[in-house]
Chain A
Amino acid sequence: MARMKFLLDSDRCIECNACVTACKNENEVPWGINRRRVVTLNDGKPGERSVSMACMHCTDAPCAAVCPVSCFYTTADAIVLHDKDLCIGCGYCFYACPFGAPQYPRIGNFGSRGKMDKCTYCAGGPQADNSEAEFIQYGANRIAEGKLPLCAEMCSTKALLAGDGEVIAQIYRERVQRRGYGAGAWGWRTAYRETVAI
């Protein structure tokens, strides 16, 4: 059984933001909702590294654990999705998420933040695959079409890998062995409670 993961090779990421706009393009994500983002650590100093981050689709996902209405579900590929029809916009998933993945359409507004939105691993939502309703609420469902998330597919330097955890870990492992350095698979320990042993 495939276990879908993201792996970010920070020695390759150049903060080109292709992943960000690819996500927006593919899912028609509105202004202000950032399902994926690139953060630069150590900006301007030797050792500067950029990391592209979105929902990591965690093992034992904290968002799902704390959701008061249990709107999250995990697919057979271990993709963590949620049902916007059940979401009440309470914001608990944002408190629990280690990666800042959940987004709300009306941040700061009194009363309600609206339904939470986050990276779907380009796997849509609970509606019928590639239906109009699914697209409007969640965006594309590339997984159902046998494709991978567009952010990773379009990553300019192939820093962002998506796919079965073992496959991408192997790619990364080989890459690190070939080049002799690697800053680790970002977020893996937090998300999957494991790391890529080289």
Chain B
Amino acid sequence: MLIKRSEARAGKQRLAAAYSGLSSGGLDRRAFLKQAGVTGLGLSALGAIPLTTVRPAKAGPTDFSTPVTRVKNICTHCSVGCTVTAEVQNGVWVGQEPTYASPINRGTHCAKGASVREVVHGERRVKYPMKLVNGQWQRMTWDAALGEIGEKLMAVRQASGPDSVFWLGSAKFSNEGSYLFRKFAAFWGTNNVDHQARICHSTTVAGVANTWGYGAQTNSYNDIRNAKTMIIMGGNPAEAHPVSLQHVLSGKEMNRANMIVIDPRFTRTAAHATEYMRIRPGTDIPIIWGMLWHIFENGWEDKEFIRQRVYGMDDVRAEVAKWNPQEVERVTGVPGAQLRKVAEMFATQKPSTLIWCMGATQKTVGTANVRAYSILLLATGNVGREGTGANIFRGHCNVQGATDFGLDVTSLPAYYGLDENAWRHWSRVWGVSYESMIARFDSKAMMETPGIPTTRYFDAVTMPVNAQTGLAQRDNFKAMMVFGHGGNTVTRMPEAVKGLEKLDLLVVADPHPTTFAVLSGRRDNTYLLPICTQFETNGSRTASNRSVQWGSQIVKPIFESKDDYEAMYRLAGAIDAAAQKRNMTFRMQAEVFKDLEIKDNAPTAESILREINRGAISTGYTGQSPERLKLHMQHQDKFDLVTLRAKDDAPAEIRGDFYGLPWPCWGKPEWRHPGTHVLYNTNLHVKEGGGTFRARFGVERNGVSLLADGSFSKGSELTDGYPEFTTAVMARLGWDAELTEEEKASIQRQGGTASWATDLSMGIIRVTMEHGVMAYGNAKARANAWNLPDPIPVHREPIYTPRTDLIAQYPTLSDRRGFRLPNIGQTVQNRAKDLAPNFPIILSSGRLVEYEGGGEETRSNRWLAELQQDMFIEINPRDAASRNIRDGAWVLVNGPEMPQGKAVKVKALVTERVGAGVAWMPFHFAGWFMQEDQRSKYPQGTDPIVLGESVNAVTTYGYDPVTFMQETKVTLCQIRAA
């Protein structure tokens, strides 16, 4: 044997010795290292590399004489919130180590998380600002770019008003960035500000918030370990949230839990299920009602829970009665016996949790779907306890936080809405007068009117202005500011191209050029601003389970990129300069950044978070001070894996906290509220993270009380339901006397009255918590949400359905208006009926583990791109055989709304993952558009490694009436061999 290495032997033997003494308990590297007497040193680094603009950040061998620093940040891909530990040497990110301390990922990653270091190599990132001049990309400086953009924005503002600029933010922002962007749009004077939540979970937020108060995951990934039965319906976490499967599979194994996957597609998640139910796409409500039919029929429902904590369940019973097993099978294709079995498990082997994702939400009935899911949980008493709940897996790394901070056309930060009270509250927080805010808008009416969502931005460019039949605002969109959003994630791309071409100004501020830069035939007035990733700046992000985690800057922004904070700060300055030139009094910078600490031309993340802490009272984003969050990151190992609670051996300043202070974390940071791991959990005191269903919808309706009946959180002095607290309710209970002088003075300054959510002193919350009472009230969850188009969810066939025979019985909602635009779903459905025979295959879409969102970032990552090199379509062997399609061959796919004669060209993946008559495509691809290769349109060196057709070139019309969520999961298509 040939062994040249002699000096290595010693090390190896040490290692071997360490192992021999290791108990069978597990592979704890900490213990292992201790025994081994080896301290982990970083590996692979470049030596001293000067910090030039274009810095090769390739890893090389470690120079052990240079110290390696470890920096923790959070993975920028999905919402699980895995901690990334970076090893930095000489300002270069040279290695990545597992973070065993994080209770969320415990050292692990998925393909994306394990390759994030490449993101900061940035081979294919936008390296400097650029603009399109007669179809050619030209390099420019930040100042010049912002100057021109400021000029053009002000020109649009002058000619068309503030509503003609669309501010498209991002779920990839930090909380601070999200908040700042929303605030920025407010000061610009428009509600046309949105982000990816529109196209992922807007219907969840609307549906769930309308049911029990907050639109968020009620429990956590970790808490799934407590479940005895879990249904994953309309989600494929094995690919979309791989690290969550660690908790799901642990739960499945430790509790021998039932893991039921309900999905049209046999996903990689389904491969690990104990029961898989294949349904026809778009029939979620019949499935849920079918399960409830068995539950009610057999008396498996939780009667006491319903009596105490649910309003309107009898109305649900009436609807459910229609869904007997025969009708369910006729509509969904699922046999009654299987449905009964699953229903029994879910209702009787408790605790049960329902996990869902975009399969539920991206539908024309998205809100209704989510409502039906929630009602199933309520009927079986599976909310507000460990192991239960609506475990909604959000999409991007900070989509929860970005939603919370109102990157949303319907609300100011923290779900305050857009009414006068909301504006007055935030004006107070921002230290500006309410009147000055009105003056920034076209009118007070526009200030209180929800804006135009991202699913329809191109309609707002092209549709004639007409308050009855067209666009209901002063003028069309003329300019679009895209901060961190792909252009291929929204349906009806052929229409989007027309919209983009008509814009006067398109600005893409992103680490990558994104599809927006190449999709249309624009030749001028298009700018690319290089924005750095969250790894290159500071800030907090909120994982799907509402835990807030602080990410620290790993390396300085690479190339000429800037972080979002600096870009916004300087853009505000550029706008001011342009306004000054026009002799307008309009100003941004001084006002938006008024109370923030400015360092190096940018507000600090910490100061923005402190402002959030002052204002975001309604969601309990007030206790998560930067200091507390940083302490949590520092002591991650002190939190329990299952309860997420800091253990007894934790330092005093975090002991008892839930990891990441999941909101609501009430009151001031110094009160040390631990955060809320499980929402609406009455088994805990409100000071300990307990809660009740929120009283958001009044106290009674038609003579029936909406308040909880004999249910209350632990230690509550009020042992029945109660409304949300205002100064008036406080006075009635005589609790107002317990407010401190300071708190009273603060309320006086606000005009003498306040609700718990607008009381800037937070005195109402403090006093109510002292009484064990929840300031937001104690109500019933609503099985009947009377303010929605379908108060009780009803089945409605997808707009493009192959079952045209069911349209008469289950039509989509009638045409209506919303968000300043018409929604002509029924007209389209009636037209689609006749097209259906030509498009016999249902087309659905979804995620791949290797890519994320629009995919520009991940398709530019060579480690990921290698794993998925071709856009494909999954076809059932039967459909493939009848079309003479071989596995791996090129096929042409066209949809009913594509231009005549056009098709997308993709590779066939012949598989039984999809049933006969169903096809599936991933949605991350772009760069080919209806067989046109657009690689040459990217600025040189920024084209992603892998390009492909976008599924959204094929997808069709269809919007949820409540949120204008797009329909991506059910449309029709035809496939033929290429």
Residues of A within 8 A of B (CB): 1-2, 11-12, 14-22, 24-26, 28, 31-32, 40, 43-46, 48-50, 70-77, 83, 86, 126-132, 134-136, 140-148, 150, 153-158, 161-164, 167-168, 170-171, 174-175, 178-180
Contacts and interface: CB of A to CB of B under 8 A. Distances in A.
Interface in B700-749: none
B242 A130 contact: no
A180 B242 contact: no
Contact of A128 (B7, B44, B95): B7
B242 A157 contact: yes
Contact of A24 (B249, B256, B863): B863
B13 A18 contact: no
B24 A144 contact: no
A28 B109 contact: no
A158 B61 contact: no
Nearest to A29: B863
Contacts of B863: 20-21, 24-25
Contacts of B330: none
Contacts of A145: 38, 40-41, 43
A170 B24 CA distance: 6
Interface of B: 1-5, 7-9, 11-16, 18-20, 22, 24, 26-27, 29, 32-33, 36, 38-41, 43-44, 58-62, 64, 95-96, 98, 106-115, 117-118, 238-239, 242-243, 245-246, 249, 252-254, 256, 266, 268-269, 271-272, 276, 849-850, 862-864, 866-867, 911-914
Given A25-B117, A126-B5, A146-B14, A161 B246 contact: no
17 contacts: A15-B238, A21-B867, A22-B114, A24-B866, A44-B911, A73-B3, A86-B2, A126-B4, A130-B61, A130-B62, A143-B11, A144-B11, A146-B15, A155-B108, A156-B245, A167-B22, A180-B256
A25 B243 CA distance: 18
Contacts of A25: 96, 114-115, 117-118, 863
Closest 9 CB pairs of A and B: A146-B38, A17-B111, A135-B61, A179-B253, A16-B242, A44-B913, A44-B912, A21-B115, A170-B24
Contact of A154 (B22, B38, B109, B253): B109
Nearest to B252: A179
Contacts of A73: 1-4
Contacts of B19: 2, 163-164, 167
B245 A174 contact: no
A153 B108 CA distance: 7
A17 to B, nearest CB: 4
A31 B862 contact: yes
B12 A77 contact: yes
Nearest to A155: B108
Contacts of B4: 73, 83, 126
Given A143-B11, A164-B19, A164-B22, 14 more contacts: A19-B114, A26-B95, A43-B912, A44-B914, A126-B2, A129-B5, A145-B43, A148-B27, A153-B98, A156-B243, A157-B246, A158-B108, A158-B246, A174-B24
B41 to A, nearest CB: 6
B26 A171 contact: yes
Which of B9, B18, B60, B62 is packed against the most chain A CB atoms within 10 Å?
B62
B272 A129 contact: no
A70 B43 CA distance: 29
Interface of A is mostly: loop
Given A73-B1, A156-B242, A32 B15 contact: no
Q: Of residues B3, B14, B249, which shows the largest number of chain A Cβ atoms within 10 Å of its Cβ?
A: B249
Given A44-B912, A146-B38, A49 B12 contact: no
Given A127-B5, A132-B61, A50 B866 contact: no
Nearest to B864: A21
B115 A136 contact: no
Given A50-B268, A143-B15, A144-B8, A154 B27 contact: no
B245 to A, nearest CB: 5
A22 B109 CA distance: 9
Contacts of B11: 129, 143-144, 146
A135 B266 contact: no
Contacts of B61: 130-132, 134-136
B110 A153 contact: no
A70 B19 CA distance: 29
Contact of B913 (A21, A22, A43, A74): A43
B266 A45 contact: yes
Contacts of A174: 24
Contacts of A158: 106, 108, 246
A196 B760 CA distance: 62
B502 to A, nearest CB: 40
A129 B44 CA distance: 12
B371 to A, nearest CB: 30
Contacts of B864: 21
B114 A21 contact: yes
Nearest to A126: B4
Nearest to A141: B43
Contacts of B249: 11-12, 157
A1 B867 contact: no
A149 B13 CA distance: 17
B114 A154 contact: yes
Nearest to B874: A44
Contacts of B276: 46
Contacts of B862: 31
B40 A146 contact: yes
A48 B266 contact: yes
Contacts of B117: 25
Contacts of A161: 27
Nearest to A140: B43
Contacts of B16: 1-2, 76-77, 164
B108 A76 contact: no
A170 B272 CA distance: 23
B201 to A, nearest CB: 22
Contacts of B3: 73, 75, 126
Given A153-B29, A163-B27, A17 B849 contact: yes
A57 to B, nearest CB: 13
Contacts of B242: 14, 16, 18, 156-157
Nearest to A23: B114
Looking at A44, A50, A175, which has the most chain B CB atoms within 10 Å of its CB?
A: A44
A18 B113 CA distance: 7
B908 to A, nearest CB: 14
Nearest to A136: B61
Contacts of B239: 14, 16
A135 B44 contact: yes
A20 to B, nearest CB: 6
A130 B272 CA distance: 40
A42 to B, nearest CB: 8
